[in-house]
Chain A
Amino acid sequence: MKIWVPMDSAAKALGSEEVVAAIRAEAAKRGVEAEIARNGSRGMIWLEPLVEVETPEGRMAFGPMTPEDVSALFEDGHEKALGLTEELDWMKRQTRLTFARCGIIDPFSLEQYEALGGLAGLRRALDMTGEQITDEVKLSGLRGRGGAGFPTGIKWDTVRMAHADRKYIVCNADEGDSGTFADRMIMEGDPFCLIEGMTIAGIGCGATKGFVYTRSEYPDAVAVMRRAIEIARAAGVLGPDVLGSGKAFELEVRVGAGAYVCGEETSLLNSLEGKRGVVRAKPPLPALEGAFGKPTVVNNVISLATVPVIFEKGAEFYANFGLGRSKGTIPLQIAGNVRHGGLFETAFGMKLGQIVEDLGGGTASGRAVKAVQVGGPLGAYLGTDQFDTPFGYEEFDGEGALIGHAGLVVFDDTADMLGMARFAMEFCAVESCGKCTPCRIGAVRGVETLDRIAAGDAEAVPLLTDLCETMKDGSLCALGGFTPYPVMSALRLFPEEFGAVREAAE
């Protein structure tokens, strides 16, 4: 009997290790041989810990499991039996390209990785020239999944054409946005996919060294990535002779130290170099002067982890999914006060309301949805009257919002929107790197101004609007520049909570 139990940190936080211990004890008691295999998460977080039992028909799912539910696993008719995992509605409705293997394979098994298409992309890339590689990425239409949406192929091409004695591939795995966990899930569930994507980037751009810069808040992801890199090195996927091609590529994991702003690429590069994580002015672009002053590709985890499937199945295959200029798929992360939270990978274009109501099943509390914050702490709040907006870069921009890293945080009608706006400013003040004045000072003044509004001073509302404009136009990076998104959208959607209605009545 083979039983799969996820080692994803969300599953662990919901008790998967206790379930593993219970399975071992129960198997021993019954004298049954039970092989426990570990996988990543399938992304149905509300069903975690999701245990799967291998049968001749396929993997049967059970969840959410507790230690008390374990003994019935060894008998017929479990009350938490969900049927075949692949046949679950949530799984069937997805287009899993980037997350094709996540939750299915043992994250440390290169053999299982290869059996499901892994390394095919890298093998193909090794037979291509650098220019053919960057052209393939351009043709796929892949845009930066960290939030900015910059075409990945163009960035790679800039680095490829730059002349330098050393170049770097830096993976931005500093996933600090609330509501996002796709990077963590892929690093914990399919680390070889990221390793392969970074290696293709290295071969294409002529870089021989890569860094995965991730967070100290993700100790499991750090440990999994480090071990997977060792395994890949021992198997010759990484090292001086990548898969016998004579080309070299090395990888190293670096851990941040709790600074949100280091998710901004230039701040990340400073941190990597051992400096304060202060934002750099651009130009020079990191593609020309990045890590240690050398040409550097800085890409998000999901951008890089999507590269293998593009090379395995071809750029056109990938580009055929999506909507307008938002090509391919996007791993939606549905979070917050939601019944069915988790990761759902689908082509761009799904409507916001469908994501929240249909996939997410509405709020966890059962109350009405008040607002959805999309794109992390710097993303706008959207109201239910914006639920027709299709999920795409340009479509959200048209709503004065952004998709960011595709995290959605649902709030029910008890949410205090003035409080959330204040929190956005407070967070910006705590996390500001201090380099530019609109962000460093503006965020502090923003908190004070919102406190005035909360105390009933409606005259402070125009001041807040003015301050947000200054921060938006004058900040050096997205931290100060985008903090106005949640603040102003909260004000726009719920003016009565900012005292505007009271003012009108007076």
Chain B
Amino acid sequence: MRHSKPTADEIQALIDGQMHLEGPLLPILHALQEAYDHVPEAALGMIAETLNLTKAEVHGVMSFYHDFRKAPAGRHVVKICRAEACQSMGANALSDAVLEKLGIGWGGTTPDGSVTVEAVYCLGLCACAPAAMVDDRLIARADAARLEKALEGAA
């Protein structure tokens, strides 16, 4: 993640980089989010122009999917699985403990901007639940202490 301030030229280059694909809108949104950790508002009009859509249509697509953010997340993102297999192994208690410790709710970011906690529905680690992800790192049989350790390691 570069987290740099997007320029119009850069955004256009990222859009153009996906235009050889059939149905390029999702790949475009992914490319922008990868570059800026969110999809900049300024990009919506440019995408619309390039794909011959309305800005409302682009906004409609972007807002449909949980992944795409309007603003950057905290420096680290913790995703905790809320799905059934993880619940059967105590995921609710785990997320309650983590959210309470950080003093935030689902989707919230700590006031210092260091951590965002997001809900995720299944990481495919259902036989070693509960599962979580700290930035790009998967953690199985997660507990609050292991998440904290992973966050320290990531800092």
Contact = CB atoms under 8 A, between A and B. Distances in A.
B36 interface: no
Contact of B140 (A13, A178, A277): A13
Given A9-B138, A181-B124, A260-B121, A254 B26 contact: yes
Contact of B88 (A183, A217, A258, A410): A410
A420 interface: yes
Interface string A392-410: 0000000000000001011
B147 interface: no
Give the interface residue-count category, chain A: 35 or more
A259 B68 CA distance: 11
Nearest to B60: A276
Nearest to B136: A219
B76 interface: no
B64 to A, nearest CB: 4
Given A178-B85, A377-B84, A257 B23 contact: no
Interface stretch (B1-9, B94-102, B109-117, B125-133): B125-133
Contacts of A278: 64
A2 B133 CA distance: 31
Contacts of A256: 26, 65
A199 interface: no
Contact of A336 (B64, B123, B129): B129
A178 B126 contact: yes
Given A176-B122, A258-B66, A259-B64, A336 B138 contact: no
B26 A13 contact: no
Nearest to B142: A13
A23 B131 CA distance: 26
Contacts, number: 148
Contacts of A183: 124
Among A258, A273, A412, the most chain B Cβ lie within 10 Å of the Cβ of A258
B139 A13 contact: yes
B120 interface: yes
Contacts of A216: 30, 67
Contacts of B87: 420, 423
Interface in B35-90: 51, 60-61, 64-68, 83-89
A134 interface: no
Nearest to A377: B84
Given A216-B67, A257-B30, A259-B65, A409 B84 contact: yes
Interface stretch (A302-310, A337-345, A438-446): A337-345
A341 B126 contact: yes
A61 to B, nearest CB: 17
B84 A217 contact: no
A148 B8 CA distance: 46
A415 B26 contact: no
Interface in A405-454: 407, 409-412, 415, 420, 423, 427, 431, 433
A373 B89 CA distance: 14
Nearest to B119: A430
Contact of A181 (B65, B84, B125): B125
Given A258-B66, A336-B126, A423-B84, A14 B61 contact: no
Nearest to A334: B127
B124 A175 contact: yes
B24 interface: yes
B67 A178 contact: no
A180 interface: yes
Given A178-B83, A219-B136, A377-B83, A257 B68 contact: yes
Contacts of A431: 121
Interface string A198-226: 00000000000000000011111100000
Given A13-B138, A272-B23, A176 B121 contact: yes
Contact of A274 (B23, B84, B121, B129): B23
Contact of B126 (A48, A180, A275, A276): A180
Nearest to A372: B88
B127 A181 contact: yes
A107 to B, nearest CB: 16
B14 interface: no
A217 B122 contact: yes
Contact of B124 (A48, A184, A258, A373): A184
B138 A257 contact: no
Contact of A277 (B64, B83, B86, B126): B64
Given A257-B67, A373-B84, 19 more contacts: A48-B128, A178-B85, A178-B122, A216-B67, A217-B123, A221-B124, A252-B21, A257-B29, A257-B30, A258-B67, A258-B120, A259-B64, A260-B121, A275-B61, A334-B127, A409-B84, A409-B88, A411-B88, A423-B84
10 contacts: A10-B124, A176-B121, A177-B122, A180-B126, A336-B85, A336-B89, A337-B89, A341-B126, A427-B83, A431-B121
